[in-house]
Structure 1
């Protein structure tokens, strides 16, 4: 029987790899040697990997990839969930068989990932998965949950606020809308006409994006909007300014705008992911999984996710 410090002989393991940067067409499922946990590390047998826009954004071209420290050949995906199947020397708090979730930058879509339990960013971290959170759901939490939490902290909504969230139906929007509602704020979420019922289900009042958005928001909120989060680009920033929202209460996640806070998952407060997981357990936050794919269909999964019209999260099953 394997003990925590035994190092098994390396065997074949599946992983998504790319030899050059580009779109879904460069993604391949390969057989690789199983990674081994070193000192201070654990190895996780991955059962589910959640996809995020940043996965394909940061591997689309060499210049962008370089900003994240990526050079080919490289893996794909960051969010994962599974169980610890190897524990390195010096690790405490994690044991064989523990259910975990976390982030492994551009290497999560694989049978195994090696991470440092002491890691503090989505690039290299693991957390215990609470009872009551299934692996598919756990695999969606890290990037989107961290990002939404950081964005909410930036605008600090409360019961007296009406928050405009642009791109509310996307992967981060799922969390941002519900976290804002949990804070007591009223939420107006932009999306397509087809997403209206979906947004209502999350707790937002839907409004169709595009020309005339400011007028439609004014009709919904004649007393005004007090905060705004742009989850797509800069359109919501400009509308918020037109509606009189001060820059100090506007946040972006996918663009830089002078005077406006840009939040990302690295800005999330310590314990943010554990709090989100606890909200899931309590039934106060739900994560719609729009589609699941086996690893062999990674290209189709990324094409769907990159289309930016998915209502909820896309997950790879392993």
Structure 2
């Protein structure tokens, strides 16, 4: 089978041939039809992601496909089931084996592309806003990097939860995408974020995927008792948080890492995915996918992600046989 694989540490991933895997007794083999790309894939390629596997390994963190084979102890899945898997790795391939407890059946109304795009971006935003920040109806949510994969989902979910959403992104095209997702107020990345947010009444919850100076400006525009969610550091700088300001304004900075929950509270992720799949079936959410590319163009997809030339999600389509 074909796989987009990193063979040695520090090497770039390449398409290569490898044997088709066989599932262990508690695993399933999935014929992969779609895989969502994530910023973490770029970090894994550099070896700087917190959960980078040892080499060799196949990139691709979230997949959708059809169950082809089940291990002897697997009873809740069968060949032919349409499924999604938050795999963490192994998704950019024609086939993969995954622990059965990570495999979730998807609705018949959900395309493989949508299923591959929903898991990490929507799951992160849903867990961050509902479980961690406890966003309340009537509060103001500030989303930075709002046209990115997680940013757009935070806008959608924030609106579903009854918040007023301020979206920050770079350029009119990306701001237009954020507005289409439901943002109430738009701020260009070239504007003074702190001043604009304060004029709008300040932020009660900050959902920040950029870090650096953007986080610092958002921090200063947060209302007393506000909650800040550092989701990622696409700007390259991890911000240093002044604890004395937390004290004076009674602020909370709340860490969110969806992959961590799979290790100590997997039910949080499973319950979130169940809610998101239901919302999708009801037409309440719809992933924004700016690019669908074949497996042979996986490197191009990562390049688009790195250069911020995409909005929403990039999905790799894999037409693998059973």
- Scaled by the length of structure 2, what TM-score is found? 0.85
Which residue does the alignment assign to 2:180? 201
Within the candidate set 73, 80, 88, 2:63 is matched to: 80
Which residue does the alignment assign to 1:311? 311
Which residue does the alignment assign to 1:39? 25
Which residue does the alignment assign to 2:197? 217
Q: Separation in 1 of the partners of 2:225 and 2:299?
A: 39
- Per-residue deviation, 1:312: 1.3
Which residue does the alignment assign to 1:187? 165
Within the candidate set 33, 37, 40, 1:54 is matched to: 40
- Per-residue deviation, 1:150: 2.5
Which residue does the alignment assign to 1:260? 253
Which residue does the alignment assign to 1:102? 85
Alignment of 1:17-28 (within 5 A): 17-22=5-10, 26-28=12-14
**Contact 2:204/2:225, CA 8 A, preserved across alignment:** no
User: Structure 1's 31 and 202: CA in aligned 2 closer, same or farther, altered over 3 A?
Assistant: same
Q: Separation in 2 of the partners of 1:131 and 1:246?
A: 45
Within the candidate set 97, 111, 114, 1:114 is matched to: 97
Which residue does the alignment assign to 2:284? 284
**Contact 1:301/1:314, CA 8 A, preserved across alignment:** yes
- Per-residue deviation, 1:19: 1.9
Which residue does the alignment assign to 2:249? none
- Tell me, what secondary structure is at the counterpart of 1:163? strand
Q: Separation in 2 of the partners of 1:245 and 1:59?
A: 38
**Contact 1:45/1:85, CA 8 A, preserved across alignment:** yes
Q: Separation in 2 of the partners of 1:79 and 1:240?
A: 30
Establish whether residue 243 from structure 1 lines up as the match of residue 221 from structure 2: yes
Establish whether residue 157 from structure 1 lines up as the match of residue 140 from structure 2: no
The count of corresponding residues between Structure 1 and Structure 2 is: 293
Q: Separation in 2 of the partners of 1:245 and 1:15?
A: 48
**Contact 2:35/2:315, CA 8 A, preserved across alignment:** yes
Q: Which runs of 5+ in 1 are unaligned?
A: 1-12, 119-124
Q: Which runs of 5+ in 2 are unaligned?
A: 233-237, 242-251, 262-267
Q: Separation in 2 of the partners of 1:302 and 1:238?
A: 28
Which residue does the alignment assign to 1:275? 275
User: Structure 1's 266 and 19: CA in aligned 2 closer, same or farther, altered over 3 A?
Assistant: closer
Which residue does the alignment assign to 1:4? none
Alignment of 1:157-176 (within 5 A): 157-176=135-154
Q: Separation in 2 of the partners of 1:267 and 1:162?
A: 27
Q: Separation in 2 of the partners of 1:112 and 1:244?
A: 46
**Contact 1:80/1:139, CA 8 A, preserved across alignment:** yes
Q: Separation in 2 of the partners of 1:161 and 1:267?
A: 27
- Per-residue deviation, 1:137: 0.5
- Tell me, what secondary structure is at the counterpart of 1:139? helix
Deviations along 1:276-316, one digit per CA (max 9) or x if unpaired, are: 11111111111011001111111111101122241111011
